[in-house]
Amino acid sequence: MLEDNPNDNLVNALNEIKNKFTEESIEDENEDYQSFIQEDESLYPEKLADTTLERTFVGLLLNEIKAISVYNFLLDEAYFADENILNVYKKILFTDGEKFAPIKAKEGYSLAKESDELYTLKNELREEYRESNLKIDDIYNRLKKLFIIRKGYLGIPVKEIQPKIAEILDYELYDMMTPEDVENTVEQVTTTEKFKRAVLNDDLTGFLVRGDNVLTNGLYLPFPILTKVFKGIRKGETSAFAMPSNSGKSRFIINLAAFIALVHEKKVLIISNEMSEEKMKLCLITTILNNPEIQKIHGLKVKVSENELLSFKFRPDDNSSAKLDENGYVLKEEGETQDAFAKRLYQISSQFKMTAQITNWYNSKCKNSIHFIDITDHTNDELRKVIMNYYYKEKIEYVFYDTLKTDIDNIGNGEELKKTATILSNLAQNFNMFIGSTLQLSETATDPINLNVNDMAVSRTVKEVLDTLCLFKQIHNENLSKYQYSLSETDEQVFELEKFEDPDVRYYSCIVDKNRAGAKPKLVFRLNLAYNSWEELGYLRLK
């Protein structure tokens, strides 16, 4: 079976052999396994392949046969690199030191291969170490440590981790380490290698000159000031956007997701426990039709509200070309199928024609750019698995979770929300992805410009985990006269908040409550939910 495995799959082949061990066949398989190790020294790097300790231990043992009662290796501990030395060791177990070797020490081993060469080697080793002053207990412990490292090296066939295990031999205090210390260190290495490590003073000049680190290279947002203060949307970070109920949290997420997918051409995952797939699709279409930055990409300027899309209402280029309702929309004729109606609209309404062209453009150019999953009544572990599945399958590195809530096992316990946020933060850091979430704000009497974490409807401690946190609240029409805004924080030129009769046009304060990157400004947004339009106007201030 072994000869069928190519050299570049040696470790996999070794694992297959070790997994095949059973109580009935362990003796034969052990022989194959140990032979396999010897036949290809490339299993170990040079520093692990040294057989000096093996020779010394067996040579000392031949001169002190009774020591096999204490200084022996169980089958799963014996990682000899030299098959001939292994066979001499087995001769001691079953022949020379048979009456001294514990029964447990013999379990699983096959008998040694008999040959003239083996007999000669055994005598050479005995003579070589007959007058040695080396202590067998010291050599045994040193060899045991080496075996532990070899076992760890072969047991983790990951090219990034194996060299770190081999490097244990080079630790400054390696000689002082016990076999138990080495075993613990192997476990620690395999665990900590999951996390990004570095020596901070490595290549400081290059880091500074290149300027291409994640601290400066986040994706820019459709909002200039937030882009500046957050340094963009940066992988490795978690952000949250908190708003009261029915304020447009999901629409805000769709706006950001569409911008990342279409402007930056990145794959995005939206996980929702708020809006259905159908509502999300409708909001997405509204966004890609009306967003100015996305219009620059598809090249068509059109204005269609979400309600018009939902009701399938479009105006004709020529009012005389069709029957219209009281609001000037083309009426569907009696008995006309939806397909026939759409074809007719395509001919007489530029508004509908451009809408269809844009959605077709999206389907053809940006297939699979925004993934969506509706997840309810889930556990934190299920949430983590969903994100990792899309990460591994689609390499999605930008994730939005709408809305961040406690898992099903902790419903009603707001303080548990921090655990969910911590899981998301760990995923973002360990897998270098951005994870943005929405949060619920309470309907408090706090003025929009004075929002703080105490206005959160859920655990306030979640803020501790996040990298950035924005709090949004509507400035109602009757209070618009109290506020004004400027284009820079210290600018003396100010602008008034214009009042609109259209109820879909609103002003929201945006209070940056946390920002690991620095500044925490107070901003004002003007939005139109009918077109999912979000415009960052400037810095908010009281008159």
Mean pLDDT of 12-17: 42
CB burial readout 230-257, b (16+ within 10 A) else e = bbbbbbbbbbbbbbbeebbbbbbbbbbb
Q: What is the pLDDT of residues 230-277, one digit of tens each?
A: 999 999 999 999 999 999 999 999 999 999 999 999 999 999 988 888
Q: What is the pLDDT of residues 320-379, one digit of tens each?
A: 999 999 999 999 999 999 999 999 999 999 999 999 999 999 888 777 789 998 887 788
**Beta strands in 73-224, from DSSP E residues, in sequence order:** none
pLDDT of residue 213: 57
- Rounded Cα distance between 440 and 184, Å, is 44
pLDDT of residue 24: 38
In which band, very low, low, confident or very high, does the pLDDT at 215 lie, cut at 50, 70 and 90? low
Closest CA to 280 of 246, 253, 298: 253
Mean pLDDT of 495-502: 94
Q: What is the mean pLDDT of the chain?
A: 86
pLDDT of residue 209: 62
Take residue 395 and report the two structure tokens written for it: 């390499």
Between helix 116-128 and helix 83-91 the angle, nearest 10°, is 80
pLDDT of residue 228: 94
- Rounded Cα distance between 107 and 91, Å, is 14
- Rounded Cα distance between 394 and 233, Å, is 20
In which band, very low, low, confident or very high, does the pLDDT at 204 lie, cut at 50, 70 and 90? low
Second-level CATH architecture of 224-314+349-542:
3-Layer(aba) Sandwich (3.40)
- Rounded Cα distance between 378 and 304, Å, is 36
Take residue 421 and report the two structure tokens written for it: 């946020």
Domain ranges of the chain: 2-192, 224-314+349-542
Q: What is the pLDDT of residues 422-442, one digit of tens each?
A: 999 999 998 899 999 999 999
Tell me the DSSP string of 348-392: H-HHHHHHHHHHHHHHHHSTTSEEEEE--S--HHHHHHHHHHHHH
Q: Which amino acid is at 159?
A: K
pLDDT at 189 over 90: no
Residues in the chain: 543
pLDDT of residue 393: 82
pLDDT at 29 over 80: no
Q: What is the pLDDT of residues 115-161, one digit of tens each?
A: 999 999 999 999 999 999 999 999 999 999 999 999 999 988 777 78
Closest CA to 312 of 328, 326, 331: 331
CB burial readout 23-42, b (16+ within 10 A) else e = eeebeebbbebbebbbeeee
pLDDT at 65 over 60: yes
In which band, very low, low, confident or very high, does the pLDDT at 411 lie, cut at 50, 70 and 90? low
Mean pLDDT of 72-99: 94
